[in-house]
Amino acid sequence: MRAERIKNGVPIDDETWRELTVAARGVNVLVEAAA
Amino acid sequence: MIVIDHTALHEIATRVFSAAGSDPEEARVIADHLIGANLRGHDSHGVGLIPNYLQHLAGGTVFANRKGRVVSENGSLIVYDGERAWGQIAAREATMVGIAKAHDTGVAVVALRNPHHIGRVGTYGEMCAEAGLVSFHFVNVTDARPAVAPWRGSDARFSTNPVCIAIPGSEPERPIILDMATSVVAMGKVRVARNKGEQLKPGILIDGEGKPTTDPAAMYRQPRGALTTFGEHKGYALAFVCEMLAGALCGSGTMRPERQGGTTATNGMLTIVIDPSRLVDRAWLQDEIAAMTRYITASPPRHPDEPVLIPATPNA
In terms of DSSP bridges, do strands B77-81 and B107-113 run parallel, antiparallel, or are they unpaired?
parallel
Answer whether B141's CB lies under 8 Å from B188's CB: no
pLDDT at B1: 87
pLDDT at B195: 85
b/e A12-30 (16+ beta carbons within 10 angstroms → b) = bbeebbebbbebbeebebe
pLDDT at B134: 98
Question: How many CB pairs (< 8 A) connect A and B?
Answer: 95
Residue of A nearest to B20 (CA): A27
Residues of B in contact with A12 (CB under 8 A): 1-4, 9, 43, 47-48
Q: Which residues of A touch B (CB under 8 A)?
A: 1-2, 5-6, 8-17, 19-20, 22-24, 26-29, 31, 34-35
pLDDT at A34: 47
Residues of A in contact with B1 (CB under 8 A): 11-14
Angle between helices B87-105 and B24-39 (to 10 degrees): 90
pLDDT at A31: 85
Residue A35, pLDDT > 50, answer no
Q: What CATH number belongs to B1-58? A: 1.10.1530.10
pLDDT at B263: 87
CA distance B314 to chain A (A): 8
Least confident of A28-32, B32-36, B46-50, B228-232: A28-32
Residue B6, pLDDT > 50, answer yes
In angstroms, the first-to-last Cα distance of chain A is 21
pLDDT tens, residue by residue, B141-177? 999 999 999 999 999 999 999 999 999 988 777 899 9
Whole-complex ipTM: 0.94
Where exactly are the structural domains of chain B? Answer: 1-58, 62-183+229-316
Span B13-35, mean pLDDT? Answer: 98
The reply to whether residue A24 touches residue B5, judged by beta carbons under 8 angstroms, is: no
What's the CATH fold of domain B62-183+229-316?
Ribosomal Protein S8; Chain: A, domain 1 (3.30.1370)
pTM exceeds 0.80, yes or no: yes
pLDDT at B188: 79
pLDDT tens, residue by residue, A1-27? 889 999 999 999 898 999 999 999 999
